[in-house]
Amino acid sequence: MNSKTFLAILATNIILTGLLFIALPRGDWGVFGAREETGALEQPSQLQNIEVFTEENSFAELEKLIKGAKKRIWIEMYELTDNIYKGNIQKPSIINLLQSTKKDLQISIIVDLQQERGSTAISKSPKNLTVLKNFEKEFEKNKKKEIRWFKSNRHFHRKVCIIDDDKLWIGSSNFTYSGINPACDKPNLEMNVRIIDKNIVEKVAKKIQQDWNNQSLLQKEF
């Protein structure tokens, strides 16, 4: 077994354990308090449908996934600031990719409002804050695209992206300059997994939709 195959199997087991944690019945510990029994996840049908990416190649794969999206994209992310660095807009970036998607593509994004109050609080920089607000304003001019902000005093620490009905991106990377942007000269050490499996995507999408519809913990404007 070569190192790449070993990493793929190891990462898959870790990710699937996390997905089981989301999907199995639970009590009040859930962030959104959901008690619905969604059942256990099945194993992916084929190992070749799972691939591991690091800080070296994650952006390139995400770029391909976003540009190839046909119907919709779901994103749950702790931080979404990857086109902002020291007050300057960076290209390429996930934000710029999302802004340039086709008009009929539906995109729904949940981002943690905590990113504006944490140790790297972007709100400390008026220029950065303006860029983020402008992104939301321009992005939502298209009625098929919307951002909602998680407003609890707990961290919304998920890093998940679903493309159409069969592709899942999940891992350690925030959509930040050091987390995903290829222009960063000292990026974080990250590991992400792309899974192509309709059964798994359906389970994760169901949970994201539950999150999206929980208005008590989300707000529509930054």
pTM: 0.74
Provide the pLDDT for residue 113.
72
Provide the pLDDT for residue 104.
92
Element (H, E) at 89: strand 88-89
C-alpha distances (whole Å) from 21 to each of 38, 106, 204 are 11, 28, 11
Q: Which residues of the chain have pLDDT under 50?
A: 20-41, 44-45, 118-120, 122-124
User: Is the CB of residue 23 less than 8 Å from the CB of residue 17?
Assistant: no
User: Is the CB of residue 69 less than 8 Å from the CB of residue 163?
Assistant: yes
Please write down the HEC assignment for all residues of 165-212: CCEEEEECCCECHHHHCCCCCCCCCCEEEEEECHHHHHHHHHHHHHHH
Length of the chain as a residue count = 222
145-150 and 159-163 strand pairing: unpaired
DSSP per-residue codes, 77-110: ES-B-TTEETTEE-SS-HHHHHHTS-TT-EEEEE
Encode pLDDT of 135-191 as tens digits. 788 888 998 998 888 877 777 889 999 999 899 999 999 988 889 988 888 999 999
Rounded Cα–Cα distance for residues 66 and 180 (Å): 14
Provide the pLDDT for residue 20.
44
Provide the pLDDT for residue 203.
92
Element (H, E) at 9: helix 3-23
- With tokens 């996840």, the residue in question is 41
Rounded Cα–Cα distance for residues 141 and 163 (Å): 21
Q: Where are the alpha helices (DSSP H) in 42-167?
A: 58-67, 94-99, 126-139
Residue type, 123: S
Domains of the chain: residue spans and CATH: 3-24+39-219 (3.30.870.10)
| CB neighbours of residue 187 within 10 Å | 20
User: Is the CB of residue 15 less than 8 Å from the CB of residue 200?
Assistant: no
Provide the pLDDT for residue 222.
62
